[in-house]
Amino acid sequence: MTTPRTAETREILDLLSARGKALEELYCRADSVRQQHMGDEIFLRGIIEFSNLCSNDCLYCGIRVSNRDVRRYTMAADEIVAHARELPARGQTTVVLQAGESPVFGDDELGEVIRRIKRETTLAVTVSVGNRPLPVYRYWRECGMDRYLLRFETSDPELFRRLHPDCSLDERVECLRHLRALGVQVGSGFMIGLPGETVETLAANILLCRNLDLDMIGIGPYIPHPGTPLGDAPNVYRDDPEMFFRAIAVLRLFNPDAHIPATTAFDAVFPGSGRDLALQRGANVFMPNTTPVEFRRDYQLYPGKPCVDEDASQCATCVLHRIEALGRKPGAGPGHSRKSAGKTPQ
């Protein structure tokens, strides 16, 4: 038995089918909602992919534990802190510490890195290292962690189960609730066009973001990685890539106050322009890659990832030019949540 569609679902499905003039109108509306609620600043969050070790086996991900072709690396704590120190001078007011889900980089060690960055810089600190027990999140919060990114990937529990041998959708959502309860600003999101999803899934994904009342929402196209079991499974919207932008525009309409990054995967699908277009259709955050150049090729969650030959200062300069070309300006402050529930107490 299928559940009846709600009026909201019908509205989203209608918007997701927009073409021609209706599509132009959708993009215009999304851009003006973004401007009214978030302003013209584009917040820069420098991302350091500090380790590609992962003990999980997500079926779509290039750094899954079963992919033996990956050269594994982990940066030293000193190296991470040294790279973070360089961000403020480049206009980047947040550091995002991202890695695979692995116990190798110890919880205490990461806590110490967070503490040092908070002590030695003005940066807001975002962490993104997967599902962890509540006491670990609490400890990192005590060390100064401001925000956490953990995508739910898909709102369809059955599809989630098929794609993730290591965890359930409920467990993932429980982690998001724990983080919220600790006063951490919470970011989540999903991939667009996973094999097995329908446009109804996409509508449900957008509604789940709204229902979770997220502070940040990152979404991006699914891209098949040849070193994974889904290597031959194309994106559902392969023949209609405009859907990736419709999704971001509708996401903005339903989440007017959330920070929405123009994610890197948009540039993989539309080289050189994807992230800029996303910024004109609802997004207000850019996450320049700050990973040392010698590791970038080893952190390929999907193929065609941009910026693998550029270094952190080249990406920093590039992004400032891109922002200028859009007639926008880099965010001056840390770009904390606009929502009171997610505001980090000072």
Contacts with ligand 5AD, residue ranges (CB under 6 A): 60-61, 151, 153, 191, 220, 222-223, 225, 265, 301-302
Decide which of ligand 5AD, ligand FES, none touches 23; Cβ closer than 5 to 8 Å per partner kind: none
Decide which of ligand 5AD, ligand FES, none touches 219; Cβ closer than 5 to 8 Å per partner kind: none
* DSSP sequence for 272-341: TTHHHHHHTTT--EE--B-S-HHHHTT--SSTT-TTSSS-HHHHHHHHHHHHHHTT-EE-SS----SSGG
Is 256 exposed, middle or buried (CB count within 10 Å of its CB: 0-12, 13-18, 19+)?
middle
Task: Verify binding: residue 323, ligand FES, rule CB under 6 A.
Answer: no
Q: Are 246 and 235 in contact (CB under 8 A)?
A: no
Of 61 and 123, CB closest to ligand 5AD: 61
Decide which of ligand FES, ligand 5AD, none touches 301; Cβ closer than 5 to 8 Å per partner kind: ligand 5AD
Q: How far is the CB of 321 from ligand FES (least distance, A)?
A: 8
DSSP SS3 for 235: coil
Q: Count CA atoms closer than 13 A to 11's CA, side-chain side.
A: 10
Q: Which residues pair with 138 in a beta bridge?
A: none
- Output the CA–CA distances (angstroms, integers) from residue 151 to 74, 85, 88, 108, 304, in the order listed: 22, 27, 26, 23, 21
Task: Verify binding: residue 311, ligand FES, rule CB under 6 A.
Answer: no
Q: Which residue is nearest to ligand 5AD (CB)?
A: 302
Q: Which residue is nearest to ligand FES (CB)?
A: 318
Q: How far is the CB of 278 from ligand 5AD (least distance, A)?
A: 14
- Among 318, 326, 329, 339, contact with ligand FES (rule: CB under 6 A): 318
> How many residues contact ligand FES, by CB under 6 A?
8
Decide which of ligand FES, ligand 5AD, none touches 151; Cβ closer than 5 to 8 Å per partner kind: ligand 5AD
- State how far the Cα of 43 lies from the Cα of 144, in Å rounded to an integer: 20
Decide which of ligand 5AD, ligand FES, none touches 220; Cβ closer than 5 to 8 Å per partner kind: ligand 5AD
Of 237 and 302, CB closest to ligand 5AD: 302
- Interface with ligand FES in residues 243-302 (CB under 6 A): 288-289
Task: Verify binding: residue 319, ligand FES, rule CB under 6 A.
Answer: yes
Is 310 exposed, middle or buried (CB count within 10 Å of its CB: 0-12, 13-18, 19+)?
middle
Task: Verify binding: residue 315, ligand FES, rule CB under 6 A.
Answer: yes
Q: How far is the CB of 292 from ligand FES (least distance, A)?
A: 14
Q: Are 205 and 159 in contact (CB under 8 A)?
A: no
- The residues that touch ligand FES, with contacts defined as CB under 6 A, are 288-289, 307, 310, 314-315, 318-319
